[in-house]
Amino acid sequence: MRSPTIAIDARYIRERPSGIGAMVEAIVRDVPKLMPDTSFLLLRHPLAPGSLSRAENVRERVVPYEANGPGTLLMLPRVVDLSEVDLFHAPFNILPAGLMMRTVVTIHDTMWLTDPTLCGAAGLWGKVQSWFYRNGIRRALEQADHLIAISEATRRDIIAEEPGAAARCTTILHGIAPKFSPSRNESDRSEQERVRQRFAPGARRHVLVVGRAAPYKNQQRSLLGFLRAFSNSPDIHLVVVQRLGHEGATLTSLAREAGAEDRVHVVPPMDEQDLISLYRGALCLCQPSLKEGWGMPIGEAMACGCPVVTSNTSAMPEVGGQAALYVTPTSVLEIARALRRLARDAKLRATLVEAGLQQAERFTWASHTERTARLYRQLLTVGARAAA
């Protein structure tokens, strides 16, 4: 009797970092070791940096189609031989058509169903994106054998959209990689200053924004709050790391209109160690998103000893706990007040740093992958019973 086979679509692991990519990396690194009697098939992106796993029970197949494209949504079983797969894990929201095995889908958020203007591009491409995600996510909510929500906030959103999914939806929180950690010595602090001067020349302190250039990230209000808070503080700069794209023209224009273009730096994705240095040396992370499925930069910042200003809605309070300053994301005034408060109150900063380090310890990839492996086993057992 052959061992069961699990296919994991790992195409979010590629040449640039992402929150989903970090999750998939953890799963393909750890879960095959936790399930040595199970075979794994990993679907790999052509731009992935080499082999994804060295485990003996893993094989890989390069798929030439983009993870978020019509080839995946409509034709994946025609592209890849999945005939011997017993369980298929789609870890990025959409469920491809035509899958005959049991399926589990990780849902990160439901914005494409509830608020597509927050995440979609404008014009014709925006309509194409909306059609793609709405079809893939709706199919997942209605047809997947099981759903993984990355936060309780996302689980609530799933059930609001598809009440029948409540019994087949499990929350498995994201983790934070151990490399996201606070400064340990003088060498780390020297590196922080070197990196700051590289990305924000002339700054003595900086506020950090991290995330893709999408409306739900609310980066324009982050900028306006920064400008309002520090109009008379030329030594405090804003660094915006748009790690899933470099589309900073609007932010740069707003900074220019305010006469602050020399203090606002919109930078593209960077080496992860440089990002860690920016977290460690920041006055705070400013992340007042309108909505988040989880909010990876919030967890990363806390783990690096960086205070956090974030939204009082969606998943952000779930991630930040008692370790963040919360604002109404649509209020530039509240964002500005929170930033000023952190800049002026060293005791508050120290309190948030300590609380953030403790809060970040709750989120580990080991816990995520152990719970994922447990779910895989449950689904395989149910599938075996049904086949019998």
SS (H, E, C) 26-47: HHHHHHHHHCCCCEEEEEECCC
Specify burial of residue 317 (Cβ count, 10 A radius: 0-12, 13-18, 19+).
middle
| φ and ψ at residue 284, rounded to 5 degrees | -170, 165
Residue type at 130? S
In the chain the first and final C-alpha atoms are separated, in Å, by 14
E strands, 63-159, in order: 87-90, 102-107, 146-149
Specify the 3-state DSSP secondary structure of 356.
Answer: helix
Domain positions in the chain are: 5-175+364-387, 186-360
Distance (Å, whole) CA 281 – CA 350:
13
Sheet of 5-9: strand order equals 58-62, 39-44, 5-9, 87-90, 102-107, 146-149, 169-171
Protein fold of 186-360: Rossmann fold (3.40.50)
**What is the C-alpha to C-alpha distance for residues 333 and 160, in angstroms, rounded to an integer?**
32
Q: Of 279, 92, 323, 51, whose CA–CA distance to 179 is shortest? A: 279
CA dihedral 253, 254, 255, 257 (to 10 degrees): 90
CA distances from 68 to 46, 266, 298 (A): 14, 26, 25
Give the strand order in the sheet containing 264-267: 264-267, 236-241, 205-210, 284-287, 308-311, 325-327
Question: Three-state SS for 166?
Answer: helix
Count CA atoms within 13 Å of residue 165 on its CB side. 29
Question: 115: which 2 tokens?
Answer: 């608020």
For residues 29 and 365, what is the distance between their CA atoms, to the nearest angstrom?
10
5-175+364-387 CATH: 3.40.50.2000
Task: Give the span between the Cα atoms of 371 and 117, in whole angstroms.
Answer: 33
Q: What is the CA radius of gyration of the chain?
A: 21
What pLDDT is attached to residue 38? 97
| Domain 5-175+364-387 matches domain 186-360 at the CATH topology level | yes
Residues in the chain predicted with pLDDT less than 50, given as ranges, are: none
Instruction: Say what the pLDDT of residue 224 is.
Output: 97
Per-residue confidence (pLDDT) for residue 383, from 0 to 100:
63
Q: What is the per-residue pLDDT for 328?
A: 98
pLDDT at 123: 77
β-pairing, 325-327 vs 308-311, is parallel
- Which residues on adjacent β-strands are paired with residue 103? 88
Report helix angle 332-344 to 219-229, nearest 10: 50
Identify the bridge partners of residue 5 per DSSP, sorted by sequence position. Answer: 39
Contact 105, 147 (CB under 8 A): yes
Which is it for strands 102-107 and 205-210: parallel, antiparallel or unpaired? unpaired
CA 79 to chain centre: 28
Beta bridge partners of 316: none
- Residue closest to 169 by CA, chosen among 248, 104, 123, 234: 104
Q: Cα(182)–Cα(73) distance, rounded to whole angstroms?
A: 41
CA–CA separation, 289 and 210 (whole Å): 11
What was the pLDDT predicted at 1?
63
